[in-house]
Amino acid sequence: MGQKLCISADSHVVESAEFFEPLEKLFGEDAPRMVIADAARGPQLDLRNGKLGIGLSGFFMQNVDFTTPEAMEMRKLGYALARPGCYDVAERLKDQEMDGLAAEIVYPSVIFNLYRVENLDKVKAAYSLYNDWVGDYCKQAPDRLFPLASLQLLDLDEAIKEMERSKKLGHVGVSIAATAPPDRLYSDPFYDKFWEAAQAMSMPMHWHIFTGATDNHGPRTVEAVHHPQEHFARVFIFRFHPVFHLIHQGNFSGLVRLDEHSRRFAHRYQMVVEIQDVERRMLRRVAQSSVL
């Protein structure tokens, strides 16, 4: 029997503290930056609008029970927890070999929270910076590392230009906010030209937990990540964009909700979303677990 092809569809690169320095040249003291506001939590992204991002350390903690005293101590260490492969592609490829991976789809980490920054110029600049940075990182192993571009969806003309630019850099899809602004949900026709452009460029949309244009974006407020699935399933995006691809990562309860809505409304919108019985049972067990 030949070796199985194993691809990680939810890998991450963790932005370094130095990553944010170019933003300081553009926005001075108002630029987002890494800070330690609470020593017990370790570094967090200061959004410079009175809000802090999620703790950095968790991105470096694998196979850890976050409720244990040992994990609480680890959270204080921040970047000291990083494996060399976080910033050295040669070392990352060694980790791939150790894990039996042929390739990885690469998401961002710290900048997930930038969707909650009100200053759109800051968001655009940060995401453009990230798309260049992760593109440079992944192009060192273009057949093993496949980056996703981060985009804002408030200025759609700029978002389409950045998506096109990112595709030329080697990005294979885009990461967008898991929650749209409440006054302009993803069912709004406002977004149509973006969906059309993404379909034309064959750039799948990716929603990841902790990416939200609203403050409710974490695992204990799962209603936030239900909204986009519900509106995509109920309204019309798949109806009018039949080959549109959407990937939702990091929240199993959202997939359960999508499964329910897709089956309820499939007859109305000729929409096909298939989740196998064994996967459905697994998803429901996770959704009912204490993690959520």
Strands 174-176 and 149-150: parallel
Q: What percent of the residues of the chain are helix, what percent strand, and what percent coil, each to the nearest 5? A: 50, 15, 40
Residue-wise pLDDT tens digits, 129-183: 999 999 999 999 999 999 999 999 999 999 999 999 999 999 999 999 887 887 8
pTM: 0.78
User: What are the C-alpha distances in Å from 282 to residues 42, 115, 201, 230?
Assistant: 33, 31, 33, 21
Comparing 247 with 29, the larger pLDDT belongs to 29
Round to whole Å and give the CA distance between 238 and 290. Answer: 33
Residue-wise pLDDT tens digits, 90-113: 999 999 999 999 999 999 999 988
Neighbour-count burial for 221-249, b at 16+ CB within 10 Å, e otherwise? ebebbbbbbbbbbebbbbeebeebebebb
Round to whole Å and give the CA distance between 178 and 227. Answer: 8
Residue-wise pLDDT tens digits, 113-125: 898 899 999 999 9
Residue spans of the domains in the chain: they are 175-292
